[in-house]
Amino acid sequence: MYARQTLPGPSMADPKVDRAQYQADCLAGRRFPAVNDAVMLARCQKTWRLREWMEIFKRYHLSSMKDGANRAARFRRAWGELEDIAPDALTRRMIAPWFQQLGRERGPLVANDVLKELKFVFNKMIEWGWHEGHNPTVGMRKFPGGKPRTRFIHYNELPAVMDSIAEEPRPFQLIFLLSLVVGCRPVEARELRWSDVKF
């Protein structure tokens, strides 16, 4: 049976027990500094780039979401050169060409999703008190929405589709069959739990 991939939560290294591990975790974005550790807080604010912000966002927010692993993976693949930029230095002038290139290479829907995620990361950091500037993604225009699907599997195509599904590993067979029967999206079929099923 398919096991849902889970993300790690924040590091729990005790600064009084293992100071070196605590400092390494803070600087890598695996945790926030302790509330009373002003020195480490200042170091993180000075050195964190978007890479560390995304790690914090992943561990403190996405790790508790059902589709968190998928969202983190999609975002990580699209990051590109932005991950080395300090959040305070990021401007719309820098985001715009990255967004356009992402739309050309990965498609407009993926680019729109990633831009929405980047906007959410900034909003969370502002909410958590770690970013005092503005959100540079606010007001950016997305690519026009994609066309709705008009192609469906016809009855006479089902035997070939079923033969093709039978060649896949068992977990994928179940996902494809469930998607065919119920009409759900693959990610919904993959993350389905018995508690979600109502007969």
Residue reference for tokens 């699907």: 149
**Highest mean pLDDT (candidates 3-17, 118-132, 152-166, 182-196):** 118-132
Write down the pLDDT at residue 70. Answer: 81
Judge contact between 60 and 10, C-beta under 8 A: yes
pLDDT at 49 over 50: yes
Tell me which of 186 and 69 has the higher pLDDT: 69
Range 48-65 burial, b when 16+ CB lie within 10 A, else e = bbbebbbbbbbbbbbbee
pLDDT at 189 over 50: yes
What mean pLDDT, rounded, does the chain reach?
86
With bands split at pLDDT 50, 70 and 90, how would you rate the model's confidence at 1?
Answer: very low
Tell me the whole-structure pTM to 2 decimals: 0.68
Write down the pLDDT at residue 10. Answer: 95
Per-residue pLDDT reduced to its tens digit, 94-150: 999 999 999 998 888 889 989 999 999 999 999 998 988 889 999 999 998 755 566
Write down the pLDDT at residue 161. Answer: 86
Q: Closest Cα partner for 149 from 185, 124, 173?
A: 185
What is the DSSP secondary-structure string of 84-148?
A: GS-GGG--HHHHHHHHHHHHHHH-HHHHHHHHHHHHHHHHHHHHTTS--S--TTTTPPPPPPPPP
Per-residue pLDDT reduced to its tens digit, 8-47: 999 999 999 999 999 999 999 999 999 999 999 999 999 9
Write down the pLDDT at residue 3. Answer: 44
With bands split at pLDDT 50, 70 and 90, how would you rate the model's confidence at 74?
Answer: confident
Residue type, 63: S
Write down the pLDDT at residue 178. Answer: 81
pLDDT at 196 over 80: no
Q: Closest Cα partner for 116 from 88, 89, 93, 145?
A: 145
